[in-house]
Amino acid sequence: MSEDFVRIFDTTLRDGEQCPGAAMSEDEKLEIAHHLAKMKVDIIEAGFPVSSPVQFKAVERIAREVDGPVICGLARALKLDIESAAKAIKPAKKQRIHTFLASSPIHMKHKLGKTPSEVLVMAREAVKMAKDFVDDVEFSPEDGTRSDWNFLREICEAVIEAGATTINVPDTVGYTTPEQYGELFHFLISNVRGADKIIFSAHCHNDLGLATANSLSAIKNGVRQVECTINGIGERAGNTAMEEVVMALRTRKNFYEITTNIDTTLISKGSYLVKNITGMTVQPNKAIVGANAFAHESGIHQDGVIKNRETYEIMTPESIGLESNRMVLGRHSGRAGFKDRIIRLGFQPKTDEIELAYNKFLEIADKKKEIFDEDLIALFTEQHRKTGVSRYSLEYFQVTNGSKTVPTATVKIKVDDVIIEESSTGDGPVDATFKAIEKAVKLEPELSKLMISPVTEGKDALAESSVTLNFQGKRVVGKGSSTDIIEASALSFIDALNRL
């Protein structure tokens, strides 16, 4: 790899987590962070340590346990924030503090109540403070794209003098356009004193659907770091999707003439992991990672692809880690083939995990002739997520339903070592099942989200269910999969209860 490359700064665990419903547990964050390291992300923004003890702990654990990328903590331009970030990232081999302060007239006046000169002093002081702890300091003038360009130039010069090594100009509200954002970087790189000593970075939000285009335009104008999230999750319309920028640079290398360090064959698994952990679905037509991204439906397209893939395919499914021949295993596949496939899908299974997942695989293979990669990823991820000891498990369920009957469910739940049987009616079969489970476990958590989606196509497809429960100030996400959608929902509900 030549010296000149685009650094991928992943903020799935910080800006991504800020979107409603995407909060993750410490273990879940760690799992994503390990995968990001495998993908060869350059920098992981692990969180905003001062914002809560939970955030602090997660950043500290990532700093201690995840090797490879620089581990970065976010901090406002305040002493307490910077000290907290420095402490949280301390165990990491490579550490970065990212400090930010708003620079647009509207933010300075109404949010900060500060004059531009006061902001200039605060920015310089914040970077100096961060430099007392680490060499690698990033500064962001928040709402940069709605700031005065000359004021931005002044702030950049001040923070470079104070020791900033990266300057990130965020499009905080998703307002800019590719031409304007590119011009802004061209202006800064040509006019800021000391610009040649630092890396400029792009950070875009997708309110106008322009985040990827804006980031690419920034790259074309000299930016060498892009801040992004897997699947583009993030506040409001989300952040720049990592997979889109990475694959655009790879596929259009002839135009951008620059690349990233990312192992693109791990994109698909990363996307799945984030979807599964956050419960945030990916739209089927989403670029790169949507279920239809490589599907050719029309006869003309199918005919062309059969004759020569390049007629309608600008990148291969294999390049993001999908098999082109999607049917991989069936009822007669042995453990070795199963394990080999799981490893090739990017997992590092332990022996007992393989055994449990293989048994579940055989159960599914009895009901479903063709097992696709997506099924295996769902199955293995679910197995992998299971906590060591589960208090509750589903032994049996039966549901009666029909257009003229009241939906009724009976469940047998193993609670510790005792089997409890309960029945309930409900507004539908899933509601009746959940109510029966609640009676059995004697808990009534608030259900804030239920999502059931097929993993692949066809009427025998595996269904995946994700349940979000709130109980006594705690929020948990449970997962379950089965060829039966009621069973999948019941399993996800019980998984969530175990997490409580």
**Given the rule CB under 5 A, which of 8-16, 285-293, 309-317, 353-361 is the region that contacts Zn ion?**
8-16
Q: How far is it, in rounded angstroms, from Cα 12 to Cα 36?
A: 10
Pick what 100 binds: ligand KIV, Zn ion, none; C-beta below 5 to 8 Å, kind-dependent.
Answer: ligand KIV
Position among 10, 15, 244, 487 found at the interface with Zn ion (CB under 5 A) = 15
Residue closer to Zn ion (CB basis): 19 or 247 = 19
Pick what 475 binds: ligand KIV, Zn ion, none; C-beta below 5 to 8 Å, kind-dependent.
Answer: none
Residue closer to ligand KIV (CB basis): 83 or 142 = 142
Residue closer to Zn ion (CB basis): 15 or 154 = 15
Residue closer to ligand KIV (CB basis): 140 or 482 = 140
Question: How far lies 273's CA from each of 267, 368, 419, 455, in Å?
Answer: 10, 23, 33, 13
CA-based R_g, the chain, Å: 25
- The least distance separating Zn ion from the CB of residue 234, rounded to whole angstroms, comes to 6
Largest CA distance in the chain: 76
Residue closer to ligand KIV (CB basis): 15 or 60 = 15
Determine contact, residues 202/225, Cβ cutoff 8 Å: yes
Residue closer to ligand KIV (CB basis): 44 or 485 = 44
- The least distance separating ligand KIV from the CB of residue 174, rounded to whole angstroms, comes to 9
- The least distance separating ligand KIV from the CB of residue 205, rounded to whole angstroms, comes to 6
Per DSSP, what are the bridge partners of residue 200?
167
Residue closer to ligand KIV (CB basis): 13 or 266 = 13
Residue closer to ligand KIV (CB basis): 103 or 433 = 103
**Given the rule CB under 5 A, which of 15-23, 85-93, 265-273, 374-382 is the region that contacts Zn ion?**
15-23
- The least distance separating ligand KIV from the CB of residue 73, rounded to whole angstroms, comes to 12
Pick what 408 binds: ligand KIV, Zn ion, none; C-beta below 5 to 8 Å, kind-dependent.
Answer: none
- Of 226, 161, 151, whose CA–CA distance to 198 is shortest? 161
Cβ of 119: how many Cβ atoms within 10 Å?
23
Determine contact, residues 16/48, Cβ cutoff 8 Å: no
Residue closer to Zn ion (CB basis): 139 or 338 = 139
- The least distance separating ligand KIV from the CB of residue 142, rounded to whole angstroms, comes to 4
Token pair belonging to 137: 């300091």
Question: How far lies 22's CA from each of 15, 68, 73, 443, in Å?
Answer: 10, 25, 19, 24
Per DSSP, what are the bridge partners of residue 118?
none
User: Could you give the string, one character per residue 399-438, with x where binding to Zn ion holds by CB under 5 A and - elsewhere?
Assistant: ----------------------------------------
- The least distance separating ligand KIV from the CB of residue 50, rounded to whole angstroms, comes to 13
The beta-carbon contacts of 394-398 under 8 Å, at least 24 apart in sequence, are 394/487, 394/490, 394/491, 394/494, 395/419, 397/433, 397/436, 397/486, 397/487, 397/490
Residue closer to ligand KIV (CB basis): 124 or 205 = 205
**Given the rule CB under 5 A, which of 7-15, 68-76, 374-382, 437-445 is the region that contacts Zn ion?**
7-15
Cβ of 308: how many Cβ atoms within 10 Å?
9
End-to-end CA distance of the chain: 46
Residue nearest to Zn ion (CB): 15
- The least distance separating ligand KIV from the CB of residue 204, rounded to whole angstroms, comes to 8
Pick what 142 binds: ligand KIV, Zn ion, none; C-beta below 5 to 8 Å, kind-dependent.
Answer: ligand KIV
Cβ of 454: how many Cβ atoms within 10 Å?
17
Chain residues binding ligand KIV by CB under 6 A are 15, 100, 140, 142, 170, 172, 203, 205
Residue closer to ligand KIV (CB basis): 172 or 481 = 172
- The least distance separating ligand KIV from the CB of residue 236, rounded to whole angstroms, comes to 10
DSSP 92: S
- The least distance separating ligand KIV from the CB of residue 242, rounded to whole angstroms, comes to 15
The residue whose two tokens read 């199955």 is 379
Q: Is the dihedral of CA 455, 460, 464, 465 positive or negative?
A: positive
Q: Which helix (H) or strand (E) element contains residue 137?
A: strand 137-142
Q: Which amino acid is at 320?
A: I
- The least distance separating ligand KIV from the CB of residue 484, rounded to whole angstroms, comes to 42
**Residues between 76 and 95 with contacts to Zn ion, criterion CB under 5 A:** none
- Of 489, 394, 476, whose CA–CA distance to 441 is shortest? 394
**Given the rule CB under 5 A, which of 13-21, 341-349, 354-362, 394-402 is the region that contacts Zn ion?**
13-21
Cα–Cα–Cα angle for 158, 162, 168, nearest 5°?
Answer: 65
- Of 393, 412, 452, whose CA–CA distance to 428 is shortest? 452
- The least distance separating Zn ion from the CB of residue 164, rounded to whole angstroms, comes to 18
DSSP of 367-429: H-S-EEHHHHHHHHHHHHHS-SS-SEEEEEEEEE--TTS--EEEEEEEETTEEEEEEEE-SSH
- The least distance separating ligand KIV from the CB of residue 167, rounded to whole angstroms, comes to 11
If you count them, how many residues does the chain have? 500
Residue closer to ligand KIV (CB basis): 69 or 480 = 69
Q: Give the footprint of Zn ion on this chain (CB under 5 A).
A: 15
